[in-house]
Amino acid sequence: MSPRRVYSALVHHPVKDRDGASVATSVTNLDVHDIARSSRTYGLSGYYVVTPITAQHAIVDRILAHWRPGAPGAGRVPQRAEALRLIQVARSIEDAVADIEAREGRPPRVWATGARAPAGVDTLSFAEGGERLRSDPEVPTLILFGTGHGLVGDTLAAANAVLAPIRAGGDYNHLSVRAAAAIIFDRLFGES
Amino acid sequence: MSPRRVYSALVHHPVKDRDGASVATSVTNLDVHDIARSSRTYGLSGYYVVTPITAQHAIVDRILAHWRPGAPGAGRVPQRAEALRLIQVARSIEDAVADIEAREGRPPRVWATGARAPAGVDTLSFAEGGERLRSDPEVPTLILFGTGHGLVGDTLAAANAVLAPIRAGGDYNHLSVRAAAAIIFDRLFGES
């Protein structure tokens, strides 16, 4: 499978805290690993860890250094090293968009995600989203995931589309962002 | 949604290490949390953390204690506490099966999972599995997930069925067990 022109980004700023205020969250090791592995498994071309905090960039660099060619992790679990090669750090969503434009020669469409549908916004179903990705594979796409309590309203408003929330059959939805990202990739790209 | 008569179990022993030998792995905090949250979101009735190692039971107990009614976590993130109430520790797969039988009045059918289809075993597709769960909801079901390099051959051989590996469109499959469990619940129970 050649990589899709699809990219993921895990946004640590700006995101909501439990009161809806805009905050920056901390990078966690397992978010970096898990979403890289899921991105690689579903054939994405890149995974951006988005944070403006320089000290957090150093944390990601330290994780990646462990898995670079020649480093201890790379020999031990080569598949993991392959997944982590997808990772780039970006200071902002805009920087991730600019980086994709530089790689692909055109800016990506940006799709936001969230656990609840924002009021007054038409969401894109997974069936429709998957169909769009298959029908124009030359258009790059960036899928945004929020940490904390989710992406802020301005990010949703600026996106080209907001994907529908995952419906699991009940009214409880408290998936981790790692689980949600995996399910969304599977709904858009998986084979049953 | 009333809870389904479906249970998950994360098996820490016996599982394979990278050379295929049977080992016990350590419980990790995020496996406990993430799979509990996914199990609760998809309406499962319980989530067993399976390990024979008594010191590991204490680790799970410590995680759970933080989220019991009245404890610091319970007030802060009530949804999380609700997910963690699904968790039970079991010393073995057999103990989890016996516990489900005691709760449900009949033993569960046991479905194993894995990243690769075992040689010579017919696997159960997700469409077929979902259909069976819908057509006889009164039969309890236990879905087993392996840590490390997956469930051992004896566990697969003893299971009533082995679910098909997740196909993502390529030949790379290196999902975390947290991501795989979320995708499998979604394929069996999710609404698109």
Interchain contact, B174 vs A37, CB within 8 Å: yes
Taking the C-alpha atoms of residue A142 and residue A144, their distance in angstroms, rounded to an integer, is: 6
Residues of A in contact with B190 (CB under 8 A): 166-169, 183, 187
What average pLDDT values come out for chain B (192 residues) when binned by 10 residues? Answer: 89 96 95 96 97 95 88 81 94 98 98 91 94 96 97 96 92 93 96 70
* Mean confidence (pLDDT) of chain A: 94
Interchain contact, B37 vs A190, CB within 8 Å: no
Interchain contact, A1 vs B170, CB within 8 Å: yes
Distances (CA, A) of A181 to A19, B20, B91, B114: 23, 30, 32, 20
| Other Cβ atoms within 10 Å of A12 Cβ, number | 22
Domains of chain B: 6-189 (3.40.1280.10)
Torsion from C-alpha of B86, B87, B91, B93, nearest 10 degrees: 50
> What's the pLDDT band for A118 if we cut at 50, 70, 90?
confident
pLDDT tens digits for B22-31? Answer: 999 999 999 9
What average pLDDT score do residues A129-150 get? 96
pLDDT confidence of residue B153? 95
Give strand pairing partners of A6. Answer: A141
Taking the C-alpha atoms of residue B174 and residue B171, their distance in angstroms, rounded to an integer, is: 10
Taking the C-alpha atoms of residue A58 and residue A44, their distance in angstroms, rounded to an integer, is: 24
Taking the C-alpha atoms of residue B98 and residue B95, their distance in angstroms, rounded to an integer, is: 5
Residues of B in contact with A3 (CB under 8 A): none
**How far away is chain A from the Cα of B36, in angstroms, using its nearest Cα?**
9
**How far away is chain B from the Cα of A75, in angstroms, using its nearest Cα?**
13
pTM for this entry: 0.95
- Give the contacts of B124 (CB within 8 A, at least 6 positions apart): B111, B132, B161, B162, B163, B164
Nearest CA in chain A to B176: A34
pLDDT confidence of residue A43? 95
User: Position B164: which residue type?
Assistant: A
pLDDT tens digits for A161-170? Answer: 999 999 988 8
pLDDT beyond 80 at A192 = no
CB-neighbour burial class of residue B152 (10 A; exposed 0-12, middle 13-18, buried 19+): buried
Partner-chain residue, chosen from A173, A182, A191, that has the shortest CB–CB distance to B41:
A173
pLDDT confidence of residue B59? 92
Interchain contact, A183 vs B180, CB within 8 Å: no
pLDDT confidence of residue B180? 98
pLDDT tens digits for B165-188? Answer: 999 888 888 999 999 999 999 999
Three-state DSSP class for B130?
A: helix
Taking the C-alpha atoms of residue B74 and residue B77, their distance in angstroms, rounded to an integer, is: 6
